[in-house]
Structure 1
């Protein structure tokens, strides 16, 4: 027996097997439900249950509190339908989700962007080019069955690189990987990974992408390597000639954490509708930092006390994304459905004791 899951207001529906998480069932049938970690840690997949019964698997309190659950909210990543269910998710808008595929990837180049950020360019198969939205991510499939997720930092139109030495253009995706000391994958990236190494990846994943059909001005909020999908969105805007007003707030602990500051300033010269506010939280005297300081999400509120007519695209550390979501809605009047986010949840975040 299967259960029918209907998503309003789009009217999209799919079937979930007994014991199958609703998110997994939706992905399997091409329904673009929002999600981030897929492990009950970030809350990106949280949506309102309009009817039906859902049982939750292990998850963290910060992702779904007991109070929110009592109000009818569910996490689709660990929520299992016990009957037919109707959900409300305004991010599910169309049937155009790109297929998720597994494929080999060859390391094309490695470039340090800062002391702890590596730009990894992967060459993908040329015979069946992967399609994705700017802002989405892929997962590395490790040999022990573990997975690691990283956003594509280049827009889809830049996937095919120019031919080299007369050869055919190669599909290349760019990733920004931060070193997490002790992390089995990032330790490898920063110590032993070499060009031409073969890895396996799967994607595209995620519902974090620009909503092209809105005329609203945008706030682009990034912390750390959360800049990667924002970079892809900026490239997409430039390529598509999108001239909506957009202000990028990029936060780091010290100035060197804003590892592509020069690149952004180059874009400003060609995109008069794009504005940039770098924010540093822990500058030292030796940094001679004269720009904005403090928490990056708070800098947005200082400049935009009223966000009721805006869209916000936020990506980075869960504490930044979660704080922004709460404060922008509660204090600045941002409509909840106009906050689009992708939390970068590390394995350490996922390891916290679930409820």
Structure 2
């Protein structure tokens, strides 16, 4: 068989140490093939920008599509690391990757949704509720995201801010959308969009969700609307009666960026193992802020210098997530496999660095 024939039929992709295997089709990224076949690999943006899907290639060859150097540097690539979200197999491939548990992969669905509620939480954050088709089921892990499919085929990703068990009372799924001036989608959300509008979504996507097979204490780190998936995780913790110690650190530039501060404080009475540390980086005198100041990820290390026995779930701006990972592993002794992240990579972030 020629290599061309082989490529047309696809290649075998094996994952160590789990022993799971799947096939990839010609010109299909390894991650797309894994998602299609229900194989749980870690990932975030699916767009070569966040680095969450980075893993070691033990055998075989791949070619990479466009990606940012901060997600995968030339040095890392030379050392055998790849991004599964933009790597296409050129032969059979063996990967070394953290395996998301088998039950971690829910079916990906594309469906119409109806905007049932729009409610401003702050000047630039809109809470949007989406009603799903009554005759369909939608299953997801608290912390995962959906993609809006726009009319021109462009996609925009937003984390679900509610846990699955709340869907009946919420009437579907809840999203927290920050206005990015000039943004194709968010200008519409904060401009012409009205309740009852029909939008198309696809999901669930992402490997950001609480690992319930651990009993380690948890640090939840959020910046801005990175609170959305963290809120879903908190609802899940409450619903499941999980008693692990949980510390939430939520950072914003100004107090108004902590747009559901009252909701978190009300939860403290119901979750005795939860502590909450709001942090503001650029408070002005008129804000009257008397709480913690500075960078939110550093507040965690100030309170817990030794993170070696913890799990950390970080979500929000890439600079916060990247800084947290570097400092928690380098200074706090956090094991690399206990850091879970979802960096909110915007279109502006992607445009800022040439691929």
Q: TM-score range by the shorter chain?
A: over 0.9
Change in 2 beyond 3 A, CA 1:96/1:298:
closer
Measured on the aligned residues, the alpha-carbon RMSD in Å equals: 1.2
CA contact (8 A) 1:7 1:92 kept: no
More divergent stretch after superposition (31-40 vs 211-220): 31-40
1:111 aligns with 2:85: no
Which sections of structure 1, spanning at least 5 residues, go unmatched? 163-170
Change in 2 beyond 3 A, CA 1:203/1:248:
same
Which sections of structure 2, spanning at least 5 residues, go unmatched? 1-5
Correspondent of 2:33 among 25, 31, 39: 25
Q: Which residue of 2 aligns with 1:165?
A: none
CA contact (8 A) 1:10 1:93 kept: no
Cα separation, 2, equivalents of 1:183 and 1:254: 22
Q: Which residue of 2 aligns with 1:40?
A: 48
Q: Which residue of 2 aligns with 1:145?
A: 153
Q: Which residue of 1 aligns with 2:318?
A: 318
Q: Which residue of 1 aligns with 2:3?
A: none
For residue 44 of structure 2, give the secondary structure of its aligned residue in structure 1. coil
Cα shift at 1:95: 4.5
Cα shift at 1:51: 2.0
Cα separation, 2, equivalents of 1:142 and 1:284: 38
Q: Which residue of 2 aligns with 1:276?
A: 276
1:73 aligns with 2:62: no
Cα shift at 1:29: 1.0
Cα shift at 1:31: 1.4
CA contact (8 A) 1:100 1:202 kept: yes
Cα shift at 1:87: 1.4
Cα shift at 1:91: 4.0
1:82 aligns with 2:94: no
C-alpha distance after superposition, 1:297-354 (max 9, x if no partner): 1111111111111000010001111111111111111111110111100001112343
Q: Which residue of 2 aligns with 1:168?
A: none
Cα separation, 2, equivalents of 1:206 and 1:56: 20
TM-score of the superposition, structure 2-length normalised? Answer: 0.95
Q: Which residue of 1 aligns with 2:100?
A: 92
CA contact (8 A) 2:41 2:98 kept: no
Cα separation, 2, equivalents of 1:91 and 1:300: 27
Change in 2 beyond 3 A, CA 1:96/1:45:
closer
More divergent stretch after superposition (19-28 vs 178-187): 19-28
CA contact (8 A) 1:31 1:95 kept: no
Moved over 2 A (4+): 352-355
Cα shift at 1:53: 1.6
Cα shift at 1:127: 1.3
Cα separation, 2, equivalents of 1:26 and 1:352: 29
Aligned length: 347
TM-score of the superposition, structure 1-length normalised? Answer: 0.95
Change in 2 beyond 3 A, CA 1:110/1:234:
same
